[in-house]
């Protein structure tokens, strides 16, 4: 078993958990290879974790890695269903979201997440879902492509973006990651190489977000989390790009200022928590990470 993902902001997550005076129950909504959960299991004495991941292949890796722990339950599920899942049968004191994808997806999943691979464009975390990256890039019309590049990768609506989309449509069919990367590099040939690669990274990101319905899932997942968290409990969310962070920030603000007398929430950190310089240096995937935490007061 080769572990590829180094968990991000782990110390900061552990320091900010609500520790219950009996067992501290946690939902790790994005278990991945289980790095974050393993740190928690080995640091906090009396803890129970429900570890969720929608990708069954990465969950199998976590299963092997965490097999020595009896106080974790692994659940192959989309976190949008966390409040309905019958296995989650304890009071919940902390809910963690470590959003986005794992290094496992980029380097080992063969599902076409990385533009440095020659896999078929797929990008589904959950392979039972229907929509693939291949369908998006080959079947979406120009308006639909413009929407996802704008909404999920902050591409400006201007003539250059329109020309890029026109170019993609002319080059169809596009089957593999390598194929798509070459087409993009050709379109951006007048840009410095690192700028072109930045654009390609954002294009792959936009397609992945659309395939996995990620923005809608974050909204639904957080709504569920607000429903199940116990008083004094905390929701902790790590984001990796502006689109994700905007959603978390807005939903946290909304809950903080709502006037529901039965449930009140307060923000734990007014400013986002970022990885230390040392963490950013040792784990480049952590560079863009931002942690936001909210607590249910009553
Ligand atoms: C950044 S990784 C988590 C890494 C993990 N914290 C660790 O330490 O290894 C994000 C994980 O969330 C999973 N994921 C993405 N969307 C999901 C969803 N809607 N429901 C459940 N899991 C999801 C992905 O499959 C991926 O494994």
Query: Does residue 5 have its Cβ closer than 6 Å to ligand 1?
Result: yes
What's the CA-to-centroid distance between 105 and ligand 1, angstroms?
10
Instruction: Evaluate whether 53 touches 59 at the Cβ level (below 8 Å).
Output: yes
Q: Domain 10-104+214-296 adopts which CATH fold?
A: Rossmann fold (3.40.50)
Choosing from 2, 6, 11, 30 the residue with most ligand 1 atoms within 8 A of its CB, the one to mutate for a pocket test is 30
38 lines ligand 1 (CB under 6 A): no
Please tell me if the CB atom of residue 7 comes closer than 6 angstroms to any atom of ligand 1.
Answer: yes
pLDDT, tens digit, for every residue of 193-225? 999 999 999 999 999 999 999 999 999 999 999
Best residue among 12, 13, 53, 223 to mutate for probing ligand 1's pocket (most ligand atoms within 8 Å of CB) is 53
Whether 101 lines ligand 1, by a CB cut-off of 6 Å, is yes
What is the Cβ-side half-sphere exposure of residue 107, based on CA atoms within 13 angstroms? 10
Fold match between domain 10-104+214-296 and domain 130-211: no
* DSSP classification of residue 243: H
What pTM, to 2 d.p., does this model score? 0.97
Alpha carbon of 193 to ligand 1 centroid (Å):
30
Measure 186 CA to ligand 1 centroid, in angstroms. Answer: 33
| Domain residue ranges in the chain | 10-104+214-296, 130-211
* Ligand 1 lined by 108 (C-beta under 6 Å): no
Regarding the beta carbon of 32 and ligand 1, being less than 6 Å apart is answered yes
Burial of 173 (0-12, 13-18, 19+ CB in 10 A): exposed
The response to whether residue 30 sits with its C-beta less than 6 Å from ligand 1 reads yes
Q: Identify the pLDDT of residue 76.
A: 98
The residue nearest atom 10 of ligand 1, judged by CA position, is: 101
How does pLDDT run across 163-181, given as a tens digit for each residue?
A: 999 999 999 999 999 999 9
Distance CA(80)–CA(60), nearest Å, equals 20
> What CATH superfamily classification does 130-211 receive?
Putative methyltransferase TM0872, insert domain (1.10.150.170)
Beta strand ranges found along the chain (DSSP E): 24-28, 47-53, 72-76, 92-98, 229-239, 265-267, 290-296
Please report how many Cα atoms fall inside a 13 Å half-sphere around the Cα of residue 245, on the Cβ side: 14
251: left (phi over 0), alpha (psi -120 to 50) or beta: alpha
Identify the pLDDT of residue 261: 75
Q: pLDDT digit of tens for each residue in the chain (298 aa)?
A: 788 899 999 999 999 999 999 999 999 999 999 999 999 999 999 999 999 999 999 999 999 999 999 999 999 999 999 999 999 999 999 999 999 999 999 999 899 999 999 999 999 999 999 999 999 999 999 999 999 999 999 999 999 999 999 999 999 999 999 999 999 999 999 999 999 999 999 999 999 999 999 999 999 999 999 999 999 999 999 999 999 999 999 999 999 998 777 899 999 998 999 999 999 999 999 999 999 999 999 9
Percent of the chain residues past pLDDT 70, beyond the cut: 100
Q: Is 55 in the pocket of ligand 1 (CB under 6 A)?
A: yes
The per-residue pLDDT for 258 is 85
Mean pLDDT, the chain, integer: 96
For a mutational test of ligand 1's pocket, the pick from 29, 54, 215, i.e. the residue with the most ligand atoms closer than 8 A to its C-beta, is 54
């Amino acid at each position: 078993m080769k572990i590829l993902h180094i968990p991000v902001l782990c110390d900061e997550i552990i320091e900010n958990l609500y520790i219950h005076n009996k067992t501290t129950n946690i939902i790790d909504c994005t278990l991945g290879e289980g790095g974050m959960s393993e740190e928690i299991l080995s640091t906090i004495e009396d803890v129970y974790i429900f570890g969720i991941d929608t990708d069954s292949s990465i969950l199998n890796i976590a299963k092997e890695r965490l097999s020595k722990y009896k106080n974790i339950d692994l659940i192959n599920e989309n976190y949008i269903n966390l409040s309905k899942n019958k296995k989650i049968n304890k009071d919940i004191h902390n809910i963690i979201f470590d959003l986005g994808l794992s290094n496992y997806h980029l380097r080992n999943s063969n599902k076409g997440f990385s533009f440095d691979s020659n896999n078929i464009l797929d990008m589904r975390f959950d392979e039972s879902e229907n929509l693939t990256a291949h369908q998006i890039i080959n079947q979406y019309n120009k308006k639909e492509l413009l929407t996802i590049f704008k909404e999920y990768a902050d591409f400006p609506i201007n003539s250059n973006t329109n020309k890029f989309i026109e170019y993609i449509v002319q080059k169809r069919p596009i089957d593999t990651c390598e194929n798509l990367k070459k087409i993009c590099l050709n379109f951006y040939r007048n840009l410095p190489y690192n700028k072109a690669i930045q654009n390609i990274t954002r294009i792959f990101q936009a397609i992945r977000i659309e395939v996995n319905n990620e923005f809608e899932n974050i909204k639904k997942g957080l709504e569920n989390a607000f429903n199940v968290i116990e008083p004094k409990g905390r929701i902790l969310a790590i984001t990796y790009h502006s689109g994700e962070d905007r959603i978390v920030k807005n939903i946290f603000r909304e809950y903080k200022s709502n006037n529901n007398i039965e449930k009140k929430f307060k923000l734990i950190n007014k400013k986002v928590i970022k990885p230390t310089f040392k963490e950013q240096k040792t784990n480049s995937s952590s560079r863009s990470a931002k942690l936001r935490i909210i607590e249910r007061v009553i």
